[in-house]
C-alpha cells in the first residue's frame, strides 16, 4: 500500500496536469507525480528534468530502456520493472532482450555497447566506489563523451527516483506478479504481464 497519499488528478496544479498529460494517462502511467503533486514546484522540476533526460537523442532508446530496467531490478522498483516505454519498443526492445538482462554478459542478443552500458549501470547501482578508469575505458570503446555524460545522468536519475518509488511502495495498480509482496525479489525478466507506456 502506498505510504503517502496520492493526489487525485483533478486536484493537481493545472500546469502540472497539462505538462504531464495526466488526464490521458492511466494511474500507473501517472506514477510518482500522483504523490509529488503535493508539492507542485517539485513535481514540475522532476517532470522537466526527467523529460529533458529521456528526450535526449544521444543514446538509442532500446539501450536506455535496458539500462533503466537493470537499475530497476537492483532497486527492486516494482513500478519501474512493470513498465516498458513505447519509444524503446519502437526502437527494437523485445521481451527477449529484457529476459537477457538476467545474464546480460552472456547474452547473444545484446550488443557490446549495451553490455558496457549495463555494466556501468550495475556498478553504479551496487558499488559506485568501485567505478574506476577501467570502467570509463570500457565505455569509451562504444560511446563518445557526450553519450557517457547522458548515460551517467540517466543512471543517476533511475537510481534515485527508482529508490524513491520503492520507498513509497506504489504497487496497487501493478500487474499481479509485481504486486505480490510475498515475493522478496522480483525481476523484469520473469514476469509475463507488463504495461507499455506511451
Over residues 63-88, the pLDDT tens digits come to 999 999 999 999 999 999 998 988 99
pLDDT band, residue 166 (cuts 50/70/90): very high
pLDDT band, residue 116 (cuts 50/70/90): very high
pLDDT band, residue 108 (cuts 50/70/90): very high
CA–CA separation, 81 vs 194, rounded Å? 8
High-pLDDT (> 70) share of the chain, %: 98
| Residue 28, helix vs strand vs coil | helix
Q: In this predicted structure, what is the pLDDT of residue 20? A: 85
Contact between residue 78 and residue 129 where contact means Cβ atoms under 8 Å apart? no
**CATH topology assigned to domain 59-197:** AhpD-like (1.20.1290)
Residue 105 Cα to chain centre, angstroms = 20
pTM of the model: 0.92
Q: In this predicted structure, what is the pLDDT of residue 153? A: 96
Q: Which residues of 181-192 are buried (b: 16+ CB within 10 A; e: fewer)?
A: eeeeebbbbebe
What phi and psi values does residue 189 have, to the nearest 5 degrees? -95, 0
pLDDT band, residue 167 (cuts 50/70/90): very high
CA–CA separation, 33 vs 164, rounded Å? 12
Q: In this predicted structure, what is the pLDDT of residue 174? A: 87
Q: Regarding predicted confidence, which is higher, 2 or 92? A: 92
Amino acid at each position: 500500500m502506498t505510504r503517502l497519499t496520492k493526489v487525485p488528478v483533478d486536484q493537481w496544479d493545472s500546469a502540472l496536469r497539462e505538462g504531464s498529460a495526466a488526464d490521458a494517462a492511466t494511474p500507473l502511467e501517472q506514477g510518482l507525480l500522483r504523490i509529488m503533486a503535493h508539492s507542485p514546484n517539485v513535481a514540475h522540476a522532476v517532470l522537466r528534468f526527467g523529460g529533458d533526460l529521456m528526450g535526449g537523442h544521444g543514446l538509442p532508446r532500446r539501450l536506455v530502456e535496458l539500462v533503466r530496467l537493470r537499475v530497476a531490478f537492483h532497486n527492486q522498483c516494482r513500478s519501474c520493472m512493470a513498465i516498458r516505454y513505447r519509444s524503446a519498443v519502437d526502437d527494437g526492445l523485445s521481451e527477449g532482450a529484457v529476459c537477457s538482462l538476467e545474464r546480460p554478459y552472456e547474452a547473444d542478443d545484446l550488443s557490446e555497447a549495451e553490455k558496457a552500458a549495463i555494466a556501468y549501470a550495475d556498478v553504479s547501482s551496487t558499488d559506485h566506489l568501485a567505478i574506476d578508469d577501467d570502467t570509463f575505458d570500457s565505455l569509451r570503446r562504444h560511446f563518445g563523451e557526450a553519450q557517457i555524460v547522458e548515460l551517467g545522468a540517466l543512471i543517476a536519475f533511475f537510481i534515485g527516483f527508482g529508490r524513491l518509488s520503492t520507498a513509497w511502495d506504489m504497487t496497487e495498480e501493478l500487474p499481479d506478479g509485481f504486486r505480490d509482496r510475498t515475493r522478496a525479489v522480483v525481476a523484469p525478466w520473469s514476469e509475463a504481464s507488463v504495461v507499455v507506456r506511451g
